[in-house]
Structure 1
Amino acid sequence: MATEHEALRLVALLESELIRRRGPIDTHNGYYRGEGRLKFASEEFAKFHGERYKDFSDNWVQVVADAPVERLVVTGFVADGDLSADKDLWKVWQVNGLDADSQLGFLGAITGARTFVLVWGDPNDPDMPVVTFEDATQCVIAYEAGSRRNRRAALKRWQDGGEDYATLYLPDEVWKFRRPLQRQDKTPQMADVDEEFKRWRPREMRDEPNPQPNPMGVVPMVELPNKPMLVEDPISDVAGVIAMQDAINLIWAHLFTASDAASWPQRVIMGAERPMIPKLNAAGEIIGKQPVDLEKFQVDRVAWITGKDARIAEWQAANLAMHTGIIEVAVGHVAAQSRTPQHYLVGKMANIGEGTLLAAETGLVKRCDEKTLWFGQGLREMARLIFLAKGEYAKADAMRSGRVLWAETESRSHAQMADALLKLKQLGFPFEWLALRYGLTPTEVATVIAMREREIEADPVAEITRMMANQPGASGPPAEEPDGPDDQEQDEAEEADRAAAG
């Protein structure tokens, strides 16, 4: 049991780590939303055009981040020793809306390098724990020294209204704190007051003690890292794309500027003074001279040239294709570095065969398989926490070596998938395994199996005939058996009788 002083010390340490991580996460999320700024520009260009293009972003970061998320779909969980997916666990997944929220969590991990899952029991429904995906800007986990899996403590910090809230999760207890939000426009007179207010204080809980015991016996928060490292922090998928994104935005700004100022042949008048026209007063009398309105001449398309040495020179329009060529090369670098298929970025497809398309997506498929490996470890621990919250300790122990079922990460047509599954069926794979491979959830598989059983009960002969037709080598009706010795004697006797009668 920790004292309040020890709990507050842990909160301060974990909060400082949370603040350290916040900057890169906010930057990556900002680029995902298309908030990239004009960088790599010269001082002169930024001075005249920086504000003009501040709201423009040719956002490739979003494509890179979204590409794997759409292929990361959880379809079930199987505990060690079970032959089929756990229906109760899938019910918890569905009731908590995790089929949708998991997509948000995976996206948060890909952009922010990590995401978290929090599991806690519901006192109003002991059989249905509350499971939520949490943002990396609000959560942090402290591990035992020398371990990447044994969790010592976890902190969730968030804002609501005019206050900060923090919940500290320990293996044996949970502490809850609150404090007023920090004032941004502090006066010297309020500095001492804010210094006093910024300290965390235990929350007053009417219906539960604070601290309260943790019946699960472990820290109920799990981390899902993206591209984890042995020592360093995990890596965001968009971290390496940001520099090229900035370069692409700069090239677009150059292109827009050239298009605005030099996309047409330009002409200049040399050897002539600027035309002047009389300046009149209210009575129509000439009182001086004034320069002509060149903008009016431009609209009226009338030129007034004076001077014996006056002449017109011209230079050609700028070559804008040079800029677009550089942008295409830069986008190709983004595709290669992030293993995002070219047709996701460029969008040029014509007469591409299925085999070529699958080959082009190999990098993305491998990238998704890596994420199912690392995210799967965290989700398996999440499933164990769900069983602990329900008090099913045997299942929780079995889930430690269980596995997570994922939908196929490779994009195939229905014809390709059906052909592959039919070949596997002929090799002897059971229907339930094939249905899961097809992408059905455990609940859908159970429904399909029940429908098949009703069909067999309604027409068993048709089912047997269909099964015989699907056997390897079965291509037509059964062949007739050759005649035996008795059949040959009977045929000879019948032939002799017909000859005598004739």
Structure 2
Amino acid sequence: MSDDARSAIRILNRLVEELQRREREITTRLDYYEGRHKICYASPEFQDYFVDRFEGFADNWCAPVISGPTERMNILGIRVDDADRKADKDLSRAWRAADCERGSSEAFVVALAAARSYCLVWGNPADEETPRVTWERPDQAIVGYDSDTGERAAGLKLWRDDTTEYATLYLPDEVWKFSRPAYARSGYTVAGLVVPDEGTVRSRGAGAWEPRQGPKDDAWPIPNPLGVVPLIEMRNQTLLDDKPLSDISGVIAMQDAINLTWAYLMNALDFASLPQRVVMGTDVPMLPVLDSNGQVIGKRPLELDQLVRDRILWIPGEKANIGQWSAADLSAYSGVIERAIEHIAAQTRTPPHYLIGRVANLSAEALTAAETGLTAKTNERIVYVQSAVREVFALMASVMGDDAKADACRSGTVIWRDVQFRAMGQKVDALMKLKSIGFPLRWIAEQYGLEPPEVDRVMQMAEDQAAMDPFAQAVNGKPDLPASPPTAQPGGDPFQLEPAAAGG
């Protein structure tokens, strides 16, 4: 193996090691977003008896915390020409053709939930005018940076199937592809330890990386014509370090408390919502003990667990009688849950009516004010990912063969849909007032939220409508008028007017 290949494997192993360190935390965060929670904070007694009963249950509040801002993060295009401030048509077409509207939306969800996500841009042999853009999960991709310049030095995409682990290492000049066994079977040695004979064990390092060449690859390694690492990282907020924060890191603990309270509540529904029967004044029931021949050789008391499951309490006494406890008041549980949800709303700047769902007689202005925090939070998240989005557009332009446009994209303006949700009447009224003081129709259409192609279509329709307006034609046109007033000819019809003779 060449020195370059060994150097690539060293870079690959460092990135794989870092990716493995991140995987557990990323998986936990995404599980919480999807609603796969485990009961936490329960007492040992409760866990022994009831925790398996609530397996799979989740009152998922992590999802709305993430979806609140991400459903407002919609990219409409990018402006690269300072003179013509329209969205670039070629990049907008390529963005839609590569299904980036869906992909970017999903990537923003992952970036806010798991703290980061990735985008890979590469050429498309089937269509040279449409780059291939894929959006990658943070447990399958990682980017390494130059410690001096902060530029991308390497990128890795790692995935596996039932038998093989695959790795594609992206460097500025080359792309290296490797593979190795994904599982260590009997007889392999992992980290100096022999794997037991029974079953299979996940390796994460068993066996050496071997060169992998795709069916359409004509070289190994593959040259990188872009000259830069084509894998871009979208990071959420950081504290000036390489550890981006998740929007649900602080929500997870409260989410666990809510799930436990629900478990207590549903358990109480079984044991305390209905009157509980009590048998008093008799001995605890005894069960016969039989030998191997079926002969009674003794007695033993009925187990307490069986009594609990049967909802019966036995109290020995001379005179047995039956009583009952009244149903318990369960409203305390719901009050705790509502208070916990209010804390989540305050801590994450999520409007309370997004979580609690109680809206009564609130005006449009009041709802807009209630969403002020969410609007500010969304704009803040846009700032965190905007540089990465510009780089995605730049790589798309490079793949399309326009390096000048790629450079312009890195300082261009990404066009986002309006992040503030307002009532239609409010929005139209505000735009009408802006138009009345001189704002042009194109700017009004953009602020209304139309996509760039729709803005162009509206402007063309406005021009067509003006061309059919006779008053507009009279004002803006140049009608053919005679050079001088007509005069009547002597002896002729006084009502027949003809042009005056020259010099007359």
Q: Which category of TM-score, normalised to the shorter sequence, fits these structures?
A: 0.7 to 0.9
Equivalent residues in 2 for 1:226-237, closer than 5 Å: 226-237=236-247
Q: Residue 454 of structure 1 aligns with which residue?
A: 464
Q: Residue 298 of structure 1 aligns with which residue?
A: none
Q: Residue 154 in 1 paired to residue 164 in 2?
A: no
User: CA 1:379–1:2 in 2, change beyond 3 Å: closer, same or farther?
Assistant: farther
AA in 1 matched with 2:347: Q
**Number of equivalences:** 439
Higher mean C-alpha deviation, range 310-319 or range 220-229:
310-319
Shift of 1:229: 2.5
Q: Residue 112 of structure 2 aligns with which residue?
A: 110
Equivalent residues in 2 for 1:467-478, closer than 5 Å: none
Q: 1:94 aligns with which of 93, 96, 110?
A: 96
User: CA 1:132–1:270 in 2, change beyond 3 Å: closer, same or farther?
Assistant: same
Shift of 1:413: 1.4
| Structure 2 CA distance for aligned equivalents of residues 40 and 273 of structure 1 | 38
Q: Residue 187 in 1 paired to residue 186 in 2?
A: yes
Shift of 1:438: 1.0
Q: Residue 381 of structure 2 aligns with which residue?
A: 371
Q: Residue 14 in 1 paired to residue 15 in 2?
A: yes
Equivalent residues in 2 for 1:44-443, closer than 5 Å: 44-81=45-82, 82-148=84-150, 150-160=151-161, 162-183=163-184, 186-188=185-187, 198-207=207-216, 208-273=218-283, 309-310=319-320, 313-443=323-453
Shift of 1:151: 0.7
Shift of 1:39: 0.5
Question: SS of 2:160's equivalent?
Answer: strand
Q: Any conservation in 2 of the 1:166–1:177 contact (CA below 8 Å)?
A: yes
Shift of 1:19: 0.7
Shift of 1:433: 1.7
Shift of 1:408: 0.8
Task: Describe the superposition over 1:399-438 as per-residue Cα deviations: whole angstroms up to 9, x where unpaired.
Answer: 1211111111111111111111111212222221221111
Q: Any unmatched runs of 5+ in structure 1?
A: 277-290, 292-304, 466-502
Q: Any conservation in 1 of the 2:349–2:373 contact (CA below 8 Å)?
A: yes
Q: Residue 490 of structure 1 aligns with which residue?
A: none
Shift of 1:357: 0.5
User: CA 1:205–1:56 in 2, change beyond 3 Å: closer, same or farther?
Assistant: closer
Question: SS of 1:233's equivalent?
Answer: coil
| Structure 2 CA distance for aligned equivalents of residues 189 and 232 of structure 1 | 36
Question: SS of 1:126's equivalent?
Answer: coil
| Structure 1 CA distance for aligned equivalents of residues 48 and 6 of structure 2 | 53
Shift of 1:189: 6.4
User: CA 1:44–1:85 in 2, change beyond 3 Å: closer, same or farther?
Assistant: same
| Structure 1 CA distance for aligned equivalents of residues 439 and 470 of structure 2 | 22
Q: Any unmatched runs of 5+ in structure 2?
A: 196-202, 287-300, 302-314, 476-504
Q: Any conservation in 2 of the 1:80–1:401 contact (CA below 8 Å)?
A: no
Shift of 1:454: 1.5
Q: Any conservation in 1 of the 2:144–2:152 contact (CA below 8 Å)?
A: yes
AA in 2 matched with 1:135: R
Shift of 1:330: 0.5
Question: SS of 1:51's equivalent?
Answer: helix
Q: Residue 34 of structure 1 aligns with which residue?
A: 35
Tell me how large the CA RMSD over aligned residues is: 2.9
Q: Any conservation in 2 of the 1:121–1:389 contact (CA below 8 Å)?
A: yes
Shift of 1:384: 1.1
Task: Describe the superposition over 1:188-224 as per-residue Cα deviations: whole angstroms up to 9, x where unpaired.
Answer: 4687898996321111245321112211111111111
Task: Describe the superposition over 1:349-392 as per-residue Cα deviations: whole angstroms up to 9, x where unpaired.
Answer: 11111111111111111111011111111101111111112221
Q: Residue 286 of structure 1 aligns with which residue?
A: none
Tell me the percent identity: 43
Q: Any conservation in 2 of the 1:182–1:198 contact (CA below 8 Å)?
A: no
Q: Any conservation in 2 of the 1:225–1:374 contact (CA below 8 Å)?
A: yes
Shift of 1:310: 4.8
Shift of 1:168: 0.9
Shift of 1:462: 6.0
Normalised to the residue count of structure 1, the TM-score between the two structures is 0.81
Task: Describe the superposition over 1:428-452 as per-residue Cα deviations: whole angstroms up to 9, x where unpaired.
Answer: 2222122111111111111111111
Task: Describe the superposition over 1:294-345 as per-residue Cα deviations: whole angstroms up to 9, x where unpaired.
Answer: xxxxxxxxxxx99875555543321200111111100111111111111111
Shift of 1:8: 0.6
Q: Residue 199 of structure 2 aligns with which residue?
A: none
Shift of 1:24: 0.8
